Amino acid sequence: MADLHGIVVAALANTVPLALAGLGEALLERSGRVNLGVEGLMAVGAAVGVLAGIHLGNPYPALVIGGLAAALLSLLYVIPVIVLGADQIVAGLALFFAGTALADLAGAATGGAPAPPLVGSPWDPVAASTLALVVASTLLLYRSWLGVEIRAVGESMEHAQARGLRVAQIQGGLAIAAAFLAGVAGAYMALALHNGRWYSGITAGWGWIALGLVILGYWSPPGVLLASLLAGALLSSRTLLAAHGVNEAIADMAPYLAVLASLLVMSLVAGRRARPPSMVWRRE
Amino acid sequence: MEPLLEARDLWKIYPNGVEANRGVNIALHPGTVYALLGENGAGKTTLVKILSGAEKPTRGEVRLNGAPAPATPRQAHQAGVYMVPQHPTLFPNLTVLEDVGLTLRMAGARLGRAGVRRLIEEASAGYGLAVDPDARVEGLSVGERQRVEVLKGVLVGRKVLFLDEPSTHMSPSEVGSLVALARRLAREGRAVFYITHRIREALDVADKILIMRRGRLEAELDRGEASKERILAAMFGRIPEKPQPVATRPGGEVLRAEDLWVPSPHGGWALRGVSLTVRAGEILGVAGIAGNGQKELVEAIIGLARPRRGRILINGVDVSSLAPRARMRMGLAVVPEERLGWAVAPGLSIWLNTALPLLARNGARLLLRRGRAKGIASRVVELAGVRARSLDQPVETLSGGNIQRLVVGRELEAGPHVVVAMNPAAGLDYSGASMVESMLLKAAARGAGVLLVDEDLELLARVSSRIVVLSRGVLTGEFTPPYDVDAIGRAMTMR
C-alpha cells in the first residue's frame, strides 16, 4: 500500500513540470507559433534554479530565477522568429542546442553541491499554482477578449494583422511567458524530483514530451493537464513495472505506447471544435 | 454640400512599376450610393484600399471631413469608415460574436460579450441580416459569412461603407435585399460605395455610377443618364462583342451520374441522390447558391471525392473506381474553381503548365522533350489568345483572365468528350468572361458535352442548353430555354 501511495505521489509530482511546460507551449501554439526549444529552456531553468538555490538557500525564489533565466534565453527565439521573421523550426532547434550547452556551463558551477530541495508533495504551492494556472489560462483563452485575439492570431496572422491586432506583441509575449513556465518546470525537476541536485541531462527529454502533450491535450489547458497526469503516471509506472520483473526494454517502451494509444482515442473522441489552430506548424 | 470623403490627384505606383491609379479625383457625399465599375486591373481595388486606409497613395491625399484621412484600417474603423471585403476574412475558429466583437473593439468600442450580442441582435433585426451570434464561423456557408461581414459594415461603417463585390456569393433574391439595404443606409445619411462588375446591379443600386479604366476615373454618370451601352462604352472604349450561343443538335450521352450520395465534411449529406446526364454537343448548366453541393458534385465526377453510393459513367464506361488521371485519359477535361494550385502550378513556367498535363494524359514518359513541349504550349497560348511576354515566365505572373484562358485552352486542346467547369468566369472582367464563354460554346460545338457549374445565373442562361438547379444536395428543377430566371431563382432556395 505504501508502494502505491508512493507511486501516486510520484505521478502527481511528475505532472507538475510536464503541465507547466506544456501549458505555456499550448498557449503559444494557440497563437500560431511553435517553439521546439522547450527542452533547452527546461535545462537552463534546472541549472540556474539549482545554482540560485545554493546561493539563496530557499527553493521558491530559485524556481522563479530559473524561470527568468529561461525567459531571457527565449529572446534567442523571439527576436529572430517574431521580430525578424526567421524560420521557427530552425530557431526552436537552435534554442534547444544552445539551452542544453548553456545549462551544462551553468550547472558545472554547482560543483555537484545540492540546493535545498523542495518537498515533492502533490500539495505543495507549486502544484496548487499549476492548477490555478490551468484555470486562469482557460478563462483567458475562452472568456476574455485577449483570448479571442490569441486564437484569431493563431488562425490567420495575415487577417489578424489586417484587423489591426498586435500580432508580434501577442506572440512574443506568449513565447516569453511560455519560456518562463518551461524554466520553472526545469527548476522544479531538479529541486523537487531530484532533491536539489543538478546533473547533466537532468531534464531527460521531458521538454520534448511536453511538446507531445500539447498535441495530446488538443491545445487546451485542461487537456494539457489531463495529458500531463497521464504521462506523469506512465513515467512513474515505468519504475513499478521494472520492479515487478517486467522486461526493462518493455517497461521503457510502455509509457510511449500508452501515449500513442491515448492519442488515437483522443482524436476519435475530440470533436471538430477541438481542432488545432490552423497557423501552427505552418512555415511561411 | 461639403463632401464626407475626398481625394485629390491620387496616384499609386507599385514597386514593380504598375500604375494602378493615375490621378484619381473623387468626392463622396453622405446620403449617396456610388457604384464603381471597371475591368479587372482597372485599379478599383487599389482605389478602395487607399480610400479605406488600407494602403497609402504614392502621391495625393485623402481627406475625411476636411482632415487627413485615417492611414490604417484600425484608424479608419474608429473614424466610421469600413470596407466589406469581397471574400469574407472571418476567423473560422471563432464564433460570430467573438469575431464581430474583435472588430468592434478594434474600432474602439469598449464592450463585453453581452454588449456585442445586443448590438448584433439589434442590427440583425433592424436591417434584416439574420445571423446567429453563437454559431462558429467554420460551420457557416460563404453566403452566411458574407452576411456577417455586411453586418460588421453596418455596425462599424457609420460614415462611409465600402462594399467590394459584395454579391459574389449571393443568390438573386439576396442580391435584391442587399441593394435595398445599401440604399437604406445611404438614406440614413451614410456614403455607400459599391464595387461590382455586374452592370445590372450597378444600375439598380447607385445614385452615381463611376467607371474606372486603366487607373483613371473615366466617367461619372448620374442614375438617370446611365445606360448599359454608355457604361460598356466607357469601360472598354467600345462595346465588346457578346458571345453568340451556337445551335447544336445534342448527340449521344457522354456523361452520366446515377444516384450520387456524397457525405458533407460538416456532417450529413452534401449530395443526396443526384442523377444527371450530359450529351455530346450540349452545355448542361448547374445553378445554385454556393455550398449546396456544387463542389462535391464536381469532385465526385472528376474523381477527387468517392461517393458513398451511385456511379459515374463516361461514354458508357463506369469510371466510379478510377483515379482522376485515368478519367482524364478517357476524355474528361476539368476547369476547376481555384486556378492557382489546382489548374496551374505557381512557380512553374507557362510552357510546363501547359504541356505537362497534356503529355501526362497520353501516358507518362521518362524524359521530357523540351522542344515538343514548348511547341504544344505555344500553340495553346496562341489559340487561346493568352497575353504573355514569354513561355518561360512563371504562370502566376499572368493576370487572372490570362491564366483562365490558358487553362480552358489547354483543357480543350486535348479534344475532350466531357468538360467539367466550375465558376470558370468568376473574378474575370467582361472581356475575359466573354472569352471563356465562347471557348466553352466552341467546345460544345465541336462535340464535347459540357457540365457547367456556376453561381452566375445570367451566364448560365446565356450559354446553357439546359439548366438544372442544385439546392441542399438535390436537384430541384430542370429548365429549358427560354429561361424563366425568377423560377430558377426560386428553385435555388427550395428545400
Contact assignment for B103 to A154 by CB distance below 8 Å? no
The pLDDT of residue B371? 85
Distance of alpha carbon A163 from alpha carbon B156, whole angstroms: 13
Contact A65, A49 (CB under 8 A): yes
Distance of alpha carbon B77 from alpha carbon B68, whole angstroms: 15
Q: Which residue of chain A comes nearest to B97, CA vs CA?
A: A148
Question: Do the domains B254-331+415-492 and B5-236 match in fold?
Answer: yes
Helices (H) and strands (E) in chain B, counts: 16, 20
pLDDT score of A237 more than 90: no
In this complex, the residue of A154, A162, A275 whose CB is nearest that of residue B73 is A162
Contact assignment for B94 to A275 by CB distance below 8 Å? no
Q: Which residue of chain B comes nearest to A272, CA vs CA?
A: B266
**How many Cβ atoms from other residues are within 10 Å of residue B370's Cβ?**
11
pLDDT digits (tens, 9 = 90+) for A126-153: 989 999 999 999 999 999 999 999 999 9
Q: Which of residues 45-74 of B touch A (CB under 8 A)?
A: 54, 72-74
pLDDT score of A281 more than 70: no
Contact A195, A202 (CB under 8 A): no
Confidence of residue A181 (pLDDT cuts 50, 70, 90): very high
- Grid cell of B72 as nine digits: 490604417
Confidence of residue A275 (pLDDT cuts 50, 70, 90): low
Q: Which residue of chain B comes nearest to A274, CA vs CA?
A: B93
Distances (CA, A) of B158 to A153, B30, B74, B208: 26, 11, 14, 20
Share above pLDDT 70 across residues of chain A, in percent, rounded to a whole number: 93
Q: Which residue of chain A comes nearest to B75, CA vs CA?
A: A164
Q: Which helix (H) or strand (E) holds A17?
A: helix A2-30
Contact assignment for A151 to B93 by CB distance below 8 Å? yes
Note whether B98 contacts A: Cβ–Cβ < 8 A.
Answer: yes
Confidence of residue A273 (pLDDT cuts 50, 70, 90): low
Beta-sheet strands, E only, within B265-406: 269-279, 283-287, 309-314, 317-318, 332-335
In this complex, the residue of B73, B93, B136 whose CB is nearest that of residue A163 is B73
Provide the CATH topology of domain B5-236.
Rossmann fold (3.40.50)
Distances (CA, A) of A50 to A57, A70, A129, A180, B455: 10, 13, 20, 16, 67
Distance of alpha carbon A171 from alpha carbon A29, whole angstroms: 9
User: Closest approach of chain B CAs to the CA of A196, in angstroms?
Assistant: 44
- Chain A positions touching B99 (Cβ under 8 A) are 152
Q: Where are the domains of chain A?
A: 2-274
* Polymer length in residues for chain B: 495
Mean pLDDT of chain A: 88
Domain range A2-274, CATH architecture = Orthogonal Bundle (1.10)
* Polymer length in residues for chain A: 284
- Chain B positions touching A31 (Cβ under 8 A) are none
User: Closest approach of chain A CAs to the CA of B77, in angstroms?
Assistant: 9
Q: State ipTM.
A: 0.85
- Grid cell of B39 as nine digits: 475591368
Note whether B89 contacts A: Cβ–Cβ < 8 A.
Answer: yes
pLDDT digits (tens, 9 = 90+) for A34-54: 999 999 999 999 999 999 999
- Grid cell of B167 as nine digits: 454579391
Confidence of residue A1 (pLDDT cuts 50, 70, 90): very low
The pLDDT of residue B288? 84
Q: Which residues pair with B422 in a beta bridge?
A: B453
Q: Which residues of chain B have pLDDT under 50?
A: none
Helices (H) and strands (E) in chain A, counts: 12, 0
Distance of alpha carbon B136 from alpha carbon A17, whole angstroms: 34
The pLDDT of residue A236? 82
User: Closest approach of chain B CAs to the CA of A162, in angstroms?
Assistant: 7
In this complex, the residue of A145, A159, A275 whose CB is nearest that of residue B105 is A145
- Grid cell of B428 as nine digits: 474575370
- Grid cell of B426 as nine digits: 468568376
Asked: is B254-331+415-492 a CATH 3.40.50.300 domain? The reply is yes
User: Closest approach of chain A CAs to the CA of B102, in angstroms?
Assistant: 7
The pLDDT of residue B246? 55
Contact assignment for B103 to A148 by CB distance below 8 Å? no
- Chain B positions touching A277 (Cβ under 8 A) are 93
In this complex, the residue of B72, B74, B98 whose CB is nearest that of residue A148 is B98
DSSP A26-60: HHHHHTT---TTHHHHHHHHHHHHHHHHHHHS-HH
Q: Which of residues 138-167 of A touch B (CB under 8 A)?
A: 145, 148-149, 151-152, 154-156, 159-160, 162-165
**Any idea what DSSP says for residue B107?**
T
Q: Residue B456 in 3-state DSSP?
A: coil
Q: Which residue of chain A comes nearest to B137, CA vs CA?
A: A273
Distance of alpha carbon B446 from alpha carbon B440, whole angstroms: 10
